[in-house]
Structure 1
Amino acid sequence: MEYNGINVITTKQLATFFHTNVTRIYTIFNRYKEKFEEGKDYFLLSKKDIEEWSKSVHLPGLKHTSLLYLWTDQGAFKIAQSFKGLKAWQGYCNCIHYFYGAEEDWQNALNELFEKMARKVAEK
Structure 2
Amino acid sequence: MELTVITLDAVDAAAVRNADGARIVDLLWTAAARGERLEHISVQAGRPGRLHLGMFTVATGERTARSTALAICRRAMATYPLLGGWRIAAAPPLRPTPLSADLLSMTQEEHP
TM-score greater than 0.5 by the shorter chain: no
Q: TM-score, length-normalised on structure 1?
A: 0.33
Q: TM-score, length-normalised on structure 2?
A: 0.35
The answer to which structure has the higher helix fraction is 1
